[in-house]
Amino acid sequence: MGNRCAALVMATVTVLALAACGNDDGTVDPDPKKASNALAAGLDAQAKGDLDEAVRQYNEVLKYDKKNKYALYDLALIDAARSNYGEAENKYRVVLAIDPAYEPALFNLAILVKAKGNNAEAISLYQRAIKAAPKDAAAHLNLGLLLRATGKVKEGDAAVKKAIALNPKLKDPAASASTAPKSPAASDSASPDASDSASPDASPTPS
């Protein structure tokens, strides 16, 4: 009898342990704390240049928080840094499906689609980025240069003028414009809850 009870206890513990690992469909339950910890670890690894570890940690975030825009955004940054532009574009679009006004993703996606020759969408994305962050001088500048290039000189001049007013260090003409993607979100400071923690964000250059 004693052996049977011991076996029953062991079986129960095993079942509980398996239940803690995941659900029958292979998913895991949302866990904001684990997602937040993984996001912080990913940002730290990315800052140190360990992109493989950063990717691992960001994917860990998504395991516990599928719609974490910061993890997706930083994975897109890493894809772009590795010249995986198609993957980067896809992830930026997922980020914007989650948060249509997330300015760093709007800005960086505009750069990618412009590089593919889709000027109309790039203009729209820059305009949305400016609406989300009216003081983003880089977005004004890139929009202005693109408008000029597509024949909308008057609107382009106005946008460039606005950019320089916001940041006098910026120069006209286009030769001095930076179209480098932004980096992990600094303007969004990481919050304890991963579902709303910040990925590094910066201005015109990858931050």
In a shared domain, residues 85 and 114: no
Fill in the amino acid letter for 21. Answer: C
pLDDT over 90, % of the chain: 68
In terms of domains, do 63 and 89 share one?
A: yes
Q: Does pLDDT of 24 surpass 80?
A: no
Residue 144 lies in a domain: yes
184 within 8 A of 200, measured Cβ to Cβ: yes
Tell me how many domains the chain contains. Answer: 2
In this structure, the answer to whether residues 205 and 122 fall within a common structural domain is yes
Give CA–CA dist 139/123, Å, rounded. 10
> Domain containing 161: what range?
101-188+200-207
Q: Model confidence at 115, in pLDDT bands (50, 70, 90)?
A: very high
Identify the burial level of 51 via C-beta atoms within 10 angstroms of its C-beta, where 0-12 means exposed, 13-18 middle and 19 or more buried: middle
Q: Which amino acid, residue 54?
A: A
193 in a structural domain: no
Position 9 in a domain: no
Summarize the confidence of residues 105-131 as an average pLDDT: 98
Q: At which residue do the structure tokens 């062991």 appear?
A: 10
Q: Which of 25-39, 52-66, 122-136 has the lowest mean pLDDT?
A: 25-39
pLDDT at 185 over 80: no
Neighbours of 112 (CB within 10 A): 21
**What is the SS3 assignment for 117?**
coil
Residue 168 lies in a domain: yes
Q: Examine residue 3 and state whether it is found in any structural domain, yes or no.
A: no
Contact between 149 and 175 (Cβ < 8 Å): no
Q: What average pLDDT does the structure give for the chain? A: 81
Query: Do 81 and 106 belong to one domain?
Result: no
With a cut of 60, say whether residue 107 has pLDDT above it: yes
pLDDT at 80 over 80: yes
Asked, for residue 8, whether it belongs to a domain, the answer is no
Cβ proximity of 198 and 189 under 8 Å: yes
Instruction: Specify the pLDDT at position 173.
Output: 72
- Span 178-187, mean pLDDT? 56
Residue 146: which of 168, 113, 104, 103 has the closest Cα? Answer: 113
129-172 residue pLDDT tens: 999 999 999 999 999 999 999 999 999 999 999 999 999 999 88
Same domain, yes or no: 120 and 47: no
